[in-house]
Amino acid sequence: MMLVGGVVANGLSGTILLLVTGTTNRVRGRVGERTQELSLQNEVLRTVLTRCLYVYSGRIGS
């Protein structure tokens, strides 16, 4: 019982500290930025891969 109370109290205090210090907003902003960067990189890789497969399939077919 004491262990459960300690875990809950630790979780609540950690949450309060994150909210008070503004870390939550910074993390959300960073996650949003990184997600956008990864989406752009993913699109570039898809384009490159599609072009490579097109060139490769053309060589095999000839």
Q: What is the pLDDT of residue 26?
A: 86
Percentage, residues of the chain above pLDDT 90: 48
Q: Is the pLDDT confidence value at 56 over 90?
A: no
Q: What is the pLDDT of residue 33?
A: 97
Q: Residues 34-45: what's their mean pLDDT?
A: 96
- Quote the pTM value: 0.53
Q: What is the residue-averaged pLDDT of the chain? A: 87
Tokens of 20: 């008070």
Task: Indicate the domain borders of the chain.
Answer: 35-62
| Cβ atoms of residues 21 and 27 within 8 Å | no
Cβ atoms within 10 Å of 46's Cβ, excluding its own = 10
